[in-house]
Amino acid sequence: MDKVRLGVLVSGSGSNLQSIIDHIEQGLIEAEIRVVISSNPDAFALERAGRHGIPAETVIHADFADREAFDRKLVEILRSRSVDLVVLAGFMRVLSPYFLREFRMRVMNIHPALLPSFPGLHGQKKAFDYGVKFSGCTVHFADEGVDTGPIIIQAVVPVLDDDTEDTLAERILKEEHRIYPQAIQYFAQGRLTVSDRKVRVSGVSGASGVMHNPPLSI
Ligand code: GAR
């Protein structure tokens, strides 16, 4: 099967981008990154792309009249690179309905909380401050809402008594680096179907068992 052609949109450190690059280089996912686009000229993600010989561009929203004009530029670049799947990896801009129409069910996002809890910015901090016993991360297809699209895969991460916001965020990020490549590989293998908001992955039976935090003692 042909490799799925990715366009990865970033704004910051790009550790998720790095994880995707590493999985591709190790032959674990059938994908190639055709372009990295950053909304921030100083994003470390750009340097990561450069180190691996991946074409990278910066598109700054302030250079455009409105959100749709910015998104038209993004779409133009992605189309020129024949991108099949758009991967939002710490991309801190909300995409317009125009963009999402152009790539319907072909835009994935990662969020550092168990959606639909704690959408938007600072998902890890919101979960920590709330006092949940489990948080985690979610890969989902993007729709017009903020972090509301159909969920592909989630990882559950316990919150420990001695956690700080930072230690929790770090534990969540480790799982982000595992579930995003997996979601991309499911897509590449043509195993994802979406119906009535539910994403099914063919050939898997799903998790079994229940977790408790703290553990039960009776
Ligand atoms: C990740 O934790 C990602 O889940 C989060 O930004 C970080 C980017 O890190 N995204 C959001 O909060 C989107 N709502 P990275 O640049 O190192 O991949």
- Using CA positions, which residue lies closest to atom 1 of ligand 1? 90
Of the residues 52, 61, 111, 212, only one is catalytic, namely 111
The CATH number that domain 1-104 falls under is 3.40.50.170
- Tell me, rounded to whole angstroms, the distance of Cα 98 from its chain centroid: 20
Residue nearest to atom 8 of ligand 1 (CA): 90
List, for the chain, all residue ranges whose pLDDT scores fall below the cut of 70: 1
- Indicate the pTM of the whole model: 0.97
Check if 177 is active-site. no
CA-CA distance, 43 to 14, in Å (whole number)?
8
Classified as helix, coil or strand, 103 is coil
CA separation for the pair 139, 141 (Å, rounded): 7
34-44 confidence digits (pLDDT tens): 999 999 999 99
Map out the domains of the chain as residue ranges. 1-104, 109-200
C-alpha 15 to ligand 1 mean position (Å):
8
d(CA 199, CA 150): 6
Per-residue pLDDT, 1: 66
Q: Which CATH number fits domain 109-200: 3.40.50.720, 3.30.70.270, 3.40.50.170, 3.40.630.10?
A: 3.40.50.170
Closest residue to atom 2 of ligand 1, CA basis: 112
Ligand 1 contacts CB of residue 16 (under 6 A): yes
Residue 35: closest CA among 76, 69, 74, 6? 6
Q: Is the CB of 124 under 6 A from ligand 1?
A: no
Whether 90 lines ligand 1, by a CB cut-off of 6 Å, is yes
Report CA(217)–ligand 1 centroid distance (Å): 36
Closest Cα to atom 3, ligand 1: which residue? 90
Judge if 1-104 and 109-200 fold alike in CATH terms.
yes
Contact 110 CB / ligand 1 (< 6 Å): yes
Closest approach atom of ligand 1 to CA 92: 13
With a 6 Å cutoff on the Cβ, whether 19 touches ligand 1 is no
Strands (E), 142-208: 151-158, 192-195, 198-201
